Amino acid sequence: MPANELTHFIGGKHEAGTSGRFGDVYQPMTGEIIARVPLASTDELRAAVKVAKAAQIDWANTNPQRRARVFMRFVDLLNTHMDELAELLAREHGKTIPDAKGDVQRGLEVAEFAIGIPHLLKGEYTENAGPGIDIYSMRQPLGVVAGITPFNFPAMIPLWKAAPAIACGNAFILKPSERDPTVPLRLAELFQEAGLPDGVFNVVNGDKEAVDAILDDPEIAAVGFVGSSDIAQYVYSRGATTGKRVQAFGGAKNHMIVMPDADMDQAVDALIGASFGSAGERCMAISVAVPVGEQAASQLRERLVPRIESLKVGPSTSLDADFGPLVTKAHLERVKGYVTTGIDEGAELVVDGREFSMQGYENGFYMGGCLFDRVTPDMRIYREEIFGPVLSMVRAADYNEAINLANSHEYANGVAIFTRDGDAARDFASKVEVGMVGINVPIPVPLAYYTFGGWRRSGFGDLNQHGPDAIRFYTRTKTVTSRWPSGIKDGAQFEIPVMK
């Protein structure tokens, strides 16, 4: 097998693809193809399900404390291999090494949360709910579950899905993005090294055929997805039709409202990092700045322009780059196309980064930061997710107009407000109709023991990612009503039972 031909990971072993179909894996900073990834057939996916189903039985019967010990060792291994994982991630995704470490770290934190599974799985108990009757509940695993994860966080989001699912006693099949699959395969090896039984965590690489096979397989009980909203809706609808639990998270158009009283330097620092970090390839990136009032808009623009023009774009290995290349040439052209569309629609392109070229890396997928001003809600660059280093300014006359922008957009993943006014901040947190809210915090991603999820077309399904919702999603509640013979003879009862 050629060194650059990747595999699946099924039943504790690397398995070569048998479908005969492959996808190219690029190194974004150079534009070179560095590997081929097998694209699984329905039969290959089905074989992985069979292996996972067999392994899940014993894993579910392993007591929660022993499961927690596996995660203790796994967290230690993630810390030990942090540099290695970050380098692998940066090589295939394009984000800088420090950003890649953040990707791994946020996944690691959910694995840390999973260590608390003995407490998280505790049920409820009521003694003497009726004469001689006790009632108790228990949480039990679903069986085999799956995750379909995107290219932009190849460590974090697989761990957001897999760690709670496995801790709850399920077996897990991961279908990572075919654009950067090496880190998920390495995570599988580290799980095995931590003592996770073979077959409990499996990686099946693939494209739409593998996705549809997951959604249609009758023995996969639940599916978690992160990607674009159109595909999230497709996954949710098709998975629900086949009787699965589905949590599907989609796109975003995150607004940051800048009030007239905001610390403008603080707001600019926040916008620069939140808009252009990871080349804007984040579902929680700030892509819309909403200054309230013309004075705030002028001040914000005046400070943003030189900061965006001085952003350092560099290869993933650069220690001082602010962000690296985009993930593929096709995605780079898509983002540039949005910039052209914005100009055609009448938005004012204040900073144009489309012609950026990195000396020595001319074939890499680079572009500089872009800033639009005087964007209006009817424009495509406002309505649609660009997923690149492009920031739009939408000027609002007052606070009510600003909050209505966030509330009326079809995406409702995250939102932020920058202000010194506690009353305004409190009112905003209460009234804004968005899933995650930041107050003087530009990227309000909750920590692992809270849940992550957007509203409207940013999220499909009733339960969110990580935190307590993940435990609810990956388990079923069983409630037992119990009475032992005590010599009491009630006789036959024909009406619905009640506790007297």
- Whole-angstrom distance, CA of residue 442 vs CA of residue 257: 10
What is the per-residue DSSP string for 405-470? HHHHSSEESEEEEE-S-HHHHHHHHHH---SEEEES-SS-PPPTTS-B--EETTEESSS-BSHHHH
The CA dihedral of 206, 210, 212, 213, to the nearest 10 degrees, is: -170
Say what angle helices 97-114 and 82-93 make with each other, to 10 degrees.
Answer: 120
**Amino acid, res. 139:** R
- Whole-angstrom distance, CA of residue 296 vs CA of residue 267: 11
- Whole-angstrom distance, CA of residue 289 vs CA of residue 406: 11
DSSP code of residue 97: H
- Whole-angstrom distance, CA of residue 230 vs CA of residue 228: 6
How far does CA 217 lie from the centroid of its chain? 23
Calculate the alpha carbon distances from 160 to 147, 164, 194, 432 in Å: 10, 7, 18, 26
Q: Residue 392: which of 402, 379, 406, 410 has the closest Cα?
A: 379
Calculate the alpha carbon distances from 174 to 85, 162, 214, 311, 472 in Å: 18, 8, 10, 36, 20
Q: In sequence order, what are the residues at sequence separation of 6 or more whose Cβ sits closer than 8 angstroms to the Cβ of residue 107?
A: 78, 153, 155, 156, 157, 158, 159, 160, 163
Which runs of E-coded beta strand occur in 220-265? 220-226, 245-249, 254-258
Which tokens belong to 209?
Answer: 């055929």
Q: Give, for 22, the enclosing helix (H) or strand (E).
A: strand 22-27
Which runs of E-coded beta strand occur in 30-149? 32-38, 125-130, 133-141, 144-148
Q: Give, for 55, the enclosing helix (H) or strand (E).
A: helix 42-60
Active site residue 370: no
- Whole-angstrom distance, CA of residue 221 vs CA of residue 468: 19
Which of 10, 70, 210, 283 is labelled catalytic? 283
- Whole-angstrom distance, CA of residue 349 vs CA of residue 87: 35
Q: Residue 55: which of 172, 160, 168, 206 has the closest Cα?
A: 172
Q: Is the separation of the CB atoms in 69 and 157 below 8 Å?
A: no
Place of tokens 């291999």: 81
Catalytic residues: 283
